[in-house]
Amino acid sequence: MAVASAFILPFVRAAPAHSRTTRRASSRPIRRATRQPVRWMQATAAEQQPQARPTPSVSPTPTVLVTGGGGRLGRRIVRELLQQNAIVRVAARDPAKAERDVQEYLREAGVDSRKDGDASRVVYLPYDATEPASVQYEKLFRDVQVDVVIDAMGTTQFRPWTVYSTEYQARAELIRAASAKQGIRHFILVTSLGTRRWGWPAGALNLFWGILFWKGRAEQFLIDQQRRDAAKKEGGLRQYTIVRPAGLERLQDADARSWAVRLYPPDTQFSGAVPRLQVAQVCVAAMLHPDESRNKVVELVSEEGGAPRDIFEMLRAL
Ligand SMILES: NC(=O)c1ccc[n+]([C@@H]2O[C@H](COP(=O)([O-])OP(=O)(O)OC[C@H]3O[C@@H](n4cnc5c(N)ncnc54)[C@H](OP(=O)(O)O)[C@@H]3O)[C@@H](O)[C@H]2O)c1
């Protein structure tokens, strides 16, 4: 991991040229949204920006499966989902640890479960992504109607077999399992910049046993599966969104106050950083706005000092 981090640093530290600015991160006043009947972008913590419009076109209480839900991005996705009144199913290798990590994060983030989402709506399930599709189906989908899958899982060990099996094989099994379930309406997959086209510095991550290559193969697997399912009259995966973030290690939640997320078309971005919180917000915005996010690949890089933009509008424009 330490070796990987050393390589990842150029990827995560480089701010995109268009984002360089002399404005100080702390100079932006914090705007707090007021409570809306539909609770999109409700500001439960100071760092949240009112970036997306309150007009979601999905049912008010979707059931959402989050793989890697105990991870650093996963916790933030859970946070955003709770604020949308979703029922959340966190799939994790160690559900007890995932629960502790999520609860601790929510506490630290100042999420008030009475106002900002009832944490009892989160269920923690045992799940190892490397299991075959039939096992995943039984554990994750069989007895429950899952509406949306957000796959935020990622390898934590940079060994050749682990990278292949986690980033590609396991994802393919999850996608197969989700497709076997009747009526998963949206599969949102988090990958990375640089999965389908080489560019510096993101592409350097491929030195770690082709991690971006295998993430890219998983993207293609999802696209192909959705196309096959779309040809069916019902069931299967109805649509996908692929979210490719820039580096996640540099920026923290608080940076979302002064760094504005930007969405770009596929294969156009290769450097920069984005706070995990903003990646979570984009994933949840994609879920809330299926027409705007349908079968799209979006790349995320944040711009220091940039004016906040409406995620809905950015999704629609892609
Ligand atoms: N870090 C970056 O700079 C960066 C940049 C672009 C994209 N990404 C991608 O964004 C995603 C989230 O990144 P992150 O840094 O927030 O990740 P993270 O904190 O390392 O979380 C990864 C999660 O995946 C889970 N996981 C790993 N192997 C698994 C398996 N075999 N079965 C089930 N779960 C498994 C981990 O579970 P355990 O808790 O059990 O280990 C953990 O919850 C990843 O796909 C990552 O590759 C990261």
Domain of 247: which CATH number?
3.40.50.720
Q: Is 28 inside a domain boundary?
A: no
Q: Is the pLDDT of residue 118 over 90?
A: no
Is the CB of 162 inside a 6 Å radius of any atom of ligand 1? no
Which of ligand 1's atoms lies nearest the C-alpha of 8?
A: 3
**Three-class secondary structure of residue 18 per DSSP:** helix
Is the CB of 184 inside a 6 Å radius of any atom of ligand 1? no
CA of 154 to the centre of ligand 1 (A): 3
pLDDT more than 90, % of the chain: 64
CA of 67 to the centre of ligand 1 (A): 9
Q: Note the pLDDT tens digit of each residue in 75-84.
A: 999 999 999 9
CA of 291 to the centre of ligand 1 (A): 28
Question: How does DSSP assign 203-240, residue by residue?
Answer: GGGGGTTTHHHHHHHHHHHHHHHHHHHHTSSS-SB--E
Q: Is 19 inside a domain boundary?
A: no
Q: Is 61 inside a domain boundary?
A: yes
Average pLDDT of span 52-74: 80
Total domain count for the chain?
1
Is the CB of 94 inside a 6 Å radius of any atom of ligand 1? yes
Is the CB of 16 inside a 6 Å radius of any atom of ligand 1? no
Q: Is 164 inside a domain boundary?
A: yes
Q: Note the pLDDT tens digit of each residue in 174-199.
A: 999 999 987 799 999 999 999 998 88
**What per-residue confidence (pLDDT) applies to 25?**
29
The domain in which residue 115 lies consists of 2-12+43-317
295: Cβ–Cβ under 8 A, 6 or more apart, which residues? 223, 226, 239, 240, 241
**What per-residue confidence (pLDDT) applies to 29?**
27
Q: Is 33 inside a domain boundary?
A: no
Q: Is 29 inside a domain boundary?
A: no
Is the CB of 245 inside a 6 Å radius of any atom of ligand 1? yes
Average pLDDT of span 42-62: 52
Is the CB of 12 inside a 6 Å radius of any atom of ligand 1? yes
Quick one: how far is CA 181 from the chain centroid?
22
Atom 6 (ligand 1): residue with closest C-alpha? 192
Average pLDDT of span 1-13: 42
Q: How confident is the model at residue 151 (pLDDT cuts 50, 70, 90)?
A: very high
Q: Is 31 inside a domain boundary?
A: no
Alpha helices in the chain (DSSP H): 2-13, 72-82, 95-108, 113-116, 133-136, 160-164, 170-180, 211-230, 276-288, 290-293, 311-317
Say how many CA atoms lie within 13 Å of 141 toward its Cβ.
23
| Ligand 1 site-directed mutation target among 77, 156, 206, most atoms within 8 Å of CB | 156
Is the CB of 278 inside a 6 Å radius of any atom of ligand 1? no
Q: Note the pLDDT tens digit of each residue in 268-283.
A: 999 999 999 999 999 9
Quick one: how far is CA 43 from the chain centroid?
19
How many Å apart are CA 284 and CA 40, to the nearest integer?
9
Q: Is 22 inside a domain boundary?
A: no
How many Å apart are CA 318 and CA 308, to the nearest integer?
17
- pTM across the whole model: 0.86
CA of 109 to the centre of ligand 1 (A): 20
- For residue 140, which of 103, 181, 94, 199 has the smallest C-alpha distance? 181
